[in-house]
Structure formats: C-alpha cells, structure tokens
Amino acid sequence: MIAENLYNAGSLFKKRFQSALFSGKLNNPAGYLALAGLGLGLGILITQLGLNISIIALGGILGIPVVFICMFNQQFGVAFMLLVAFFVQFIAKYNDAPIGTSLDALLLISCFGILIRQILHKNWSFAKDPTSNWLLAWVYFNIFQVLNPAAESKLAWMYTVRSVAVLNILYFVACYAFNSLDRIKFMLKWVLGLASITALYAMKQEFIGFSAAEKSWLYADPERFQLFFQWGRMRIFSLFNDPMTFGVMMTYMGIFCFIMATAPMVWWKKFLLIVMGIIMLWTTALTGTRTCYILIPIGFVYFAMMTLTRNVLIGIAVFTVLGSVLILKSTSNPMIYRIQSAFRPSEDPSVLIRYYNQKRIRPYIYSHPIGSGLGSTGLWARRFTPDSFLAKFAHDSYYVRLAVEVGWIGLALYMMFLFTAIRRGIYYYVRVKDPTIKKLYLALITSLFILAVANYPQEAIDQLPTSLVVYIFIAAVVRLKDFDPYYQSISPTLRA
C-alpha cells in the first residue's frame, strides 16, 4: 500500500511538472508566480546568508524536484548523473562542495524508484541477459570482499567498493530506462554531446590557455605539475583531473563518431560527426598519453575486422600508411616525438618498470586467489594502510590492481563480464537487420573493446565519467536488439 501511494504521488508530480515545464513552458499564472517567488527568494538569500550558503540553499530548492524526477523517470536520472560525472572534477577546481557523493545518492534514488515499480508490477525482462548474470556475480563478489581475511582495512573496502561495485548498478538502471529505441538514441547523443563539449574545452585550453583556478590547481601540487608538464609543454586535461582519463575518452568517442558517420543519415549529421571525430582524435595528441596513440589504430583495425567492407579497408590502409610515415619520420616536435615513443616500448623506461613490477607481484597474486582486499593498493591504501607493502606498489594497470585486490578469481569474474558484454554485442550485431541499430552495435562494441584493451596499461574503466559511460554502453548493447523488427520476428530458439 505504501509503495503504491509513493508510486501514484511520484507519477502525479512527474506529470504536473512536465506539463508546466515542457508543455506550458511556465507560460501561465502558476509559472509566473513560481518564477517570481524563486527570484525574490534568491535575492533575500544572497543578501542575508551570503553567496556560499545561498548556493547550498538553491541546491536544496532545486534538488527536491530532481530527486522526485530521478526516482520515477530513470531516463532523466541517468542523463543527470552523466552531467554530474562530466563536470564534477571541473567544478571541484572552483568549489570544494562534495558534489561527487551526489552520484551515489542519485543512483540509489533511481534504484528505489525501480524497486517500487517492481513491487507493483514484477517484470525483470529488461535485464534478462547473460551479461547481467556475470555483472551480478562481480558485484556480489566485491560486496563479500568485506569478509576477506587478508584485508587490512575495512574503511579502504568501503571507499573502494563504490567505484568497482556500486556504480555498476547503473547498468540495471539504464537497462530499465531504455524502453524504446528513441531513448537509447537520445542517451547516446547525450554522451556524444557531453564528450564534444569536453573536446572543445580542451581546444580552448590549448589555444587560449588555462583559467586562473586551473593554474592554481596545477601549481598547488609539485608532483602534479611535474606529471602534467612534460616534453616542454603542458598536457591538456580538459574538464577532468587527469590527461589519461580525458585522452582515453577522446579515443573511444572519436572512433565512435567515425563509425556512426557511416550510418544512414542526412549529410550534415555525417559531416558534424566527422568533424567532431577529428577534433577528438586531435585532442588525444594534446594529452601526451601514449596509451591513446596505441588505442587509435587498435580501434580502427577492430572496426575494419568487424565490417570487412571495401571502403573501410581502403580507408584503414591509407590511415596505416600515413601513421607509419608519422612514426618513422625524424622530428624535433615534442608532441610528435611522444607519439613515436608509444610505438617503441622497448626503449621506454616507464614501460620496462611496469613489466618489472608485474613480474615482481606475480607470486603474490598466485598465492592470494581472492586477493588482499579492496583498497589494498593505490590511493586508499596510502591513506588507510600506508606502511603496508601494497601501499607502495605501483600497479599502473586496472587488471593488475584487480588481480592484487580481488585475486585471480575476481579478475577472472571481471574479465568474463567484459568478454560476455562484447561477445553478446557481436552476436546481436550479426543478427539485427535495421541499419541504424547495426551501426550502433558496431560503434558500441568497438568502444568497449578499446576500453578493455586500455584497462591493461591504465586504470581506464573505473575513472569518471567513463565509469558511468561504459555501463550505459553495455546496457544499450543488451537492449538495442529488442527494437529490431527482424530480430524480434525470429523464434526464441534461434535468438538464444
């Protein structure tokens, strides 16, 4: 009864809010009154409470409607979480408000809304897929890591489980929200739009310069400045805190743009996708992240292998020749030299150190099948167990980190989850007939493959906003086939 009343109240609020905001556009007496009251209230707050407290109060005023909408409109909830994920690090350079924790709250609120609906109308078919089973196994395994006898800190587990398990639930929220092809298209366009803003802001940093707040942030930590200022130039990081995170995102989203440009659509959309794809891949050079330079040809080769069409193969061949010339050409340009160094790993001291560290930690991994506990390496280890051996270990790889923290059993579970997601995407790609859905599958599985490869030299998937984007992509892989007429027309036996 309580669940039904909550559901009815939420639905009524949602309809009235949408009617006033979208249909009426606040162009009615109630809208005028609301805007006048809001303006008057803000004026009083700013004069009486000060700017910082006023911002917090405004957040509370706007937060209540957002909470209700996220609870009963998961599409809006996912889109809003993405918006927060893209800008949280940028805002943190100007304000120290704990905006990042709002992601957890929004996720839990969206899940609560789904549970209310499921109490009334039980239907879990939206997430019925082998990918869901492997993800659940991975989530449960991480939750039970709190009982790991080798773990030295429960607090480290609490802080780490958020990124490796809790945010994964976004996959189920997205699966539930994607109840139509238009919704999936909108969400992918939303991701593409946010990535485009990120790319354009990077161009602003390169050609106009950093803001005063960004300069203060860079100079505040000598180690950070040393990491960012290399080869006689500053590495570009756009809205994020790390050039690697930005560079990896630009790599898979840039290739995503080029693949979608081959889909059937009007010419100006193709042109816009190609332009944004070029800008995104251009910005990868500005990040100075050598992993990205390797991922770009890997992504295009994977794309060519999946299509095996004449035009694509010719394009990849031309790209390969031009890339080979760039790699072999002698240059004094520091940016080009850094790109060239990515294809000479045997001459790179940092790569040799990574190989040495991986060889050194291998016996430890073999002897700890369920690992040493979440948070036993990296930032949280240095905070909660600074005197431990693993706190000083530089894993430099998400897979190595998982092998240490959750053992080779946990790593195998995670790899099976990624493998199943990509495998199911390929399975659906070769069976669907709708040309747009087919291209979406190709773009999604290519992006997921790039991220799976990027996880070896870097911690790619667990960094915001990719940690949200990847589960939205996987949810789209699972749901897209439900809107292909041909796939739905064949027998369930052939679909299995």
Q: Is residue 376 included in any domain, yes or no?
A: no
- Asked if residue 391 belongs to a domain, the reply is no
Residues 140-149: tens digit of each pLDDT: 999 999 898 9
The rounded distance, in Å, linking the Cα atoms of 254 and 248 is 10
DSSP 128-171: -SHHHHHHHHHHHHHHGGGG-TT-S-HHHHHHHHHHHTGGGGHH
Work out whether the CA dihedral 486, 488, 490, 493 comes out positive or negative.
positive
Residues 170 and 81 in one domain: no
Say if 318 falls within a structural domain: yes
* In-domain check, residue 381: no
What's residue 268's pLDDT?
94
Residues 447, 334 share a domain: yes
3-class secondary-structure state, position 175: helix
Q: Which residue has the tokens 């990509």?
A: 422
Point out the domain boundary residue: 80, 101, 126. Answer: 126
Map tokens 């790609």 to a residue: 429
Burial degree of 259 (CB within 10 A; 0-12, 13-18, 19+): buried
Confirm whether 375 is domain-assigned. Answer: no
C-beta neighbour count of 425 within 10 angstroms: 27
- Are 90 and 178 found together in one domain? no
In the chain, the N- to C-terminal Cα span, in Å, equals: 38
| Alpha-carbon gap, residue 87 to 193, rounded angstroms | 13
Distance CA 236, CA 244 (A): 9
pLDDT digit string (tens) for 103-122? 777 888 888 888 888 777 77
259-276 residue pLDDT tens: 999 999 999 999 999 999
pLDDT at res. 22: 47
Please state at what angle helix 466-480 crosses helix 181-207, rounded to 10 degrees: 150
The Cα 369–Cα 78 span in angstroms is: 35
By C-alpha distance, which of 371, 380, 392, 400 is closest to 153? 380
What pLDDT score does 116 carry? Answer: 81
Map tokens 């606040």 to a residue. 26
Within-domain flag for 59:
yes
Closest to 369 in 3D by CA, of 139, 134, 136, 141: 141
Domain check: are 13 and 157 in the same one? no
Q: Both 77 and 163 in a single domain? A: no
Ranges of residues in the chain whose predicted pLDDT is under 70? 1-63, 97-100, 323-337, 340-348, 491-496
- Boundary (domain end) residue, out of 98, 126, 154: 126
Is 153 in the same domain as 190? Answer: yes
Give the total number of structural domains in the chain: 2
Same domain, 20 and 113: yes
Q: What is the dihedral of CA 371, 374, 379, 381, to 10 degrees?
A: -70
- 105 and 162 in a common domain: no
Question: 110 and 145: one domain?
Answer: no
Residue 167 to residue 163: CA distance in whole angstroms: 6
pLDDT at site 395 = 82
CA distances from 379 to 81, 333, 395 (A): 24, 35, 11
Q: Where is the domain boundary, 126, 158, 180?
A: 126
Rounded (10°) CA dihedral 190, 196, 200, 205: 80
Measure the CA angle with vertex 373, ends 370 and 374; round to 5°: 120
Q: Write the burial class of residue 423 (CB in 10 Å: 0-12 exposed, 13-18 middle, 19+ buried).
A: middle
- 382: which residues sit within 8 A by CB, 6+ positions away? 391
Pair (445, 490) in one structural domain:
yes
344 shares a domain with 242: yes
Q: What span, in angstroms and rounded, lies between the C-alpha atoms of 336 and 329?
A: 9
Distance set, CA 350 to CA 235, 345, 396, 460 (Å): 17, 9, 10, 18
The answer as to whether 390 is a domain residue is: no
Q: Give SS3 for 233.
A: strand
Give yes or no: residues 243 and 161 share one domain.
Answer: yes
Query: Residue 229 is inside which H or E element, if any?
Result: strand 229-230
The predicted pLDDT at position 161 comes to 85
269 CB-near residues (< 8 Å, 6+ apart): none
- pLDDT in the model for residue 255: 95
Handedness of CA 475, 478, 483, 484 (dihedral sign): positive
**pTM of structure:** 0.87
CA dist list (Å): 326 to 233, 294, 305: 20, 13, 23
Does residue 383 lie within any of the structural domains? no
Q: Which structural domain, as residue segments, surrounds residue 206?
A: 139-350+396-495
Exposed / middle / buried, residue 40 (Cβ in 10 Å: 0-12, 13-18, 19+): exposed
Task: For residue 116, give the amino acid letter.
Answer: I
